[in-house]
């Protein structure tokens, strides 16, 4: 018989190897899916992972987009990972991302057409505050009433999407937009525009903030007492309580931090690549960042690499849809396979496979 024997402690080797194996398994399973769709699997995989970086025709456009796509994923995933490490599950980062964009954009549009260097920093703070405030709803309900933050944060995503549709057609609608939904375009408002810092690189302030968040999270988790409390709460909740960790404060900190980072990501996106508040502004970054967090093993440096990899699948997926006619739903399924295989192979981190002879009756 094949049996799973629990390891005395999680294997560091398998913890490091499983993300790589998950990517390889995703390529194989994705290749089979593309073959069933009538596409050449090798060409499809090459188009997704190789052409955006090295193809002379598409690389010049795709390479800068890698940072554009990776920035919000990394920024959101860093905030989520700190909560996940503490056993606090914020699944509603998409809603916090949307609310941060609405609040930050609203502050900027309130000053239109004023030109001042203070407007954009004020918008960043407003975006962070909006995301933080939205995350405080499940945080307060868990601390005060013991509700499940997974359900509350997830349900608030749909509320945020309804608010996005409302302000796009009402409060923030462009008065010069001929009645079409959507706010003014921030690319036409220099004081509030999150443009490229270095032309042709895709580097904007959202990418810079994502890199700062990686460094901050690394130092927090490895050098600060609060990081020790976060790790202890996730690994040994009972020991954490005996050591003096305040669970309520930790819930407020982790959900607040993840909400603030998600809100900033929304603000950087709406003032940069997206350009305006619109009905379809919600891009799913908040949900995809969950995959990035786990693919990076909840480690800041791993999340940085995982964010770049996931951004590559976004760009390569769009290219495969355009060049090979692969349906967008198949690309989304391909991306979801990453998390599926990572969770499936994670069993090897905690269990060994043993061959055992069946015992006689």
Pair of tokens at residue 140: 């307060």
Hey, what's the torsion of the CAs at 138, 142, 147, 149, to 10 degrees?
40
Q: Residues near 361 by Cβ (< 8 Å), separated by ≥ 6?
A: none
Report helix, strand and coil shares of the chain as percent, to nearest 5.
70, 5, 25
- d(CA 359, CA 361) in angstroms, rounded, equals 6
Question: Does the pTM exceed 0.75?
Answer: yes
Whether residue 309 contacts residue 22, with contact meaning beta carbons closer than 8 Å, is answered with no
The DSSP bridge partners found for residue 352 are 5
Q: Calculate ∠ Cα 240-241-245, nearest 5°.
A: 70
State the residue for tokens 């499809």. 44
Angle at 160 between CA 156 and CA 166, to 5 degrees: 145
Say how far residue 200 (Cα) sits from the centre of its chain: 24
Domain assignments of the chain as residue spans, ordered by start:
66-311
pLDDT tens sequence across 187-231? 989 999 998 998 888 899 999 999 999 999 999 999 999 999 999
Q: How far apart are CA 223 and CA 206, in angstroms?
A: 25
Distance CA 205, CA 297 (A): 26
Element (H, E) at 326: none
Q: What is the pLDDT along the chain (361 residues), one digit of tens a residue?
A: 778 888 888 888 888 888 889 999 999 999 999 999 999 999 999 999 999 988 888 877 888 889 999 999 999 999 999 999 999 999 999 999 999 999 999 999 999 988 999 999 999 999 999 999 999 999 999 999 999 999 999 999 999 999 999 999 989 999 888 888 999 999 989 999 998 998 888 899 999 999 999 999 999 999 999 999 999 898 888 888 878 888 899 999 999 999 999 999 999 999 999 889 999 887 789 999 999 999 898 999 999 999 999 999 999 999 999 899 999 899 989 988 988 898 888 888 888 888 777 665 5
Look at residue 177 in the predicted model and tell me its pLDDT: 81
Q: Specify the CATH number of the domain 66-311.
A: 1.10.3470
pLDDT number for residue 68: 92
Q: DSSP characters for 255-311?
A: HHHHHHHHHHHHHHHHTTTS-S--TT---SHHHHHHHHHHHTTT-HHHHHHHHHHHH
Structure tokens at 322: 């355009």
Query: Residue 182 carries which DSSP code?
Result: S
Nearest to 134 by CA among 265, 291, 303, 246: 265
Q: Which tokens hold the place of 359?
A: 């015992």
Contacts of 168 (CB under 8 A, 6+ apart): 181, 182, 183, 277, 278, 279, 281
| Gap between the Cα atoms of 198 and 196, Å rounded | 5
d(CA 148, CA 21) in angstroms, rounded, equals 33
């Amino acid at each position: 018989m094949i049996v799973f024997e629990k390891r005395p402690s999680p294997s560091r080797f398998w913890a490091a190897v499983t993300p790589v194996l998950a990517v390889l398994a995703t390529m194989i399973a994705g290749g089979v899916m593309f073959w069933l769709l009538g596409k050449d699997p090798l060409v499809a995989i090459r188009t997704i992972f190789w052409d955006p970086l090295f193809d002379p025709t598409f690389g010049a456009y795709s390479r800068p987009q890698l940072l554009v796509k990776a920035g919000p994923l990394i920024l959101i995933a860093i905030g989520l990972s700190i909560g996940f490490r503490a056993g606090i599950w914020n699944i509603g980062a998409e809603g916090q991302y949307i609310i941060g964009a609405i609040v930050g954009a609203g502050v900027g549009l309130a000053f239109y057409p004023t030109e001042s260097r203070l407007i954009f920093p004020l918008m960043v703070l407003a975006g962070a505050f909006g995301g933080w405030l939205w995350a405080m709803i499940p945080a307060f309900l868990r601390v005060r009433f013991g509700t499940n933050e997974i359900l509350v944060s997830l349900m608030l995503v749909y509320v945020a999407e309804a608010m996005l549709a409302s302000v796009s057609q009402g409060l923030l609608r462009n008065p010069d937009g001929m009645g079409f939904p959507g706010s003014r375009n921030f690319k036409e408002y220099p004081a509030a525009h999150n443009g490229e810092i270095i032309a042709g690189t895709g580097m904007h302030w959202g990418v810079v903030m994502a890199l700062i968040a990686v460094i901050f999270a690394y130092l927090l988790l490895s050098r600060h007492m609060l990081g020790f409390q976060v790790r202890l709460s996730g690994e040994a909740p009972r020991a954490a309580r005996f050591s003096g960790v305040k669970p309520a404060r930790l819930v407020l900190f982790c959900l607040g931090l993840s909400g603030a980072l998600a809100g900033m990501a929304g603000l950087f996106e709406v003032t940069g690549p997206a350009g305006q508040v619109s009905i379809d502004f919600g891009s799913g970054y908040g949900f995809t960042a969950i995959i990035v967090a786990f693919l990076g093993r909840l480690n800041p440096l791993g999340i940085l690499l995982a964010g770049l990899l996931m951004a590559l699948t976004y760009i390569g997926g769009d290219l495969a849809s355009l060049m090979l006619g692969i349906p967008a739903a198949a690309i989304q399924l391909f991306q979801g396979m990453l998390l599926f295989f990572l969770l499936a192979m994670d069993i090897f981190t905690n269990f060994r496979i043993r061959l055992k002879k069946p015992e006689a009756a």
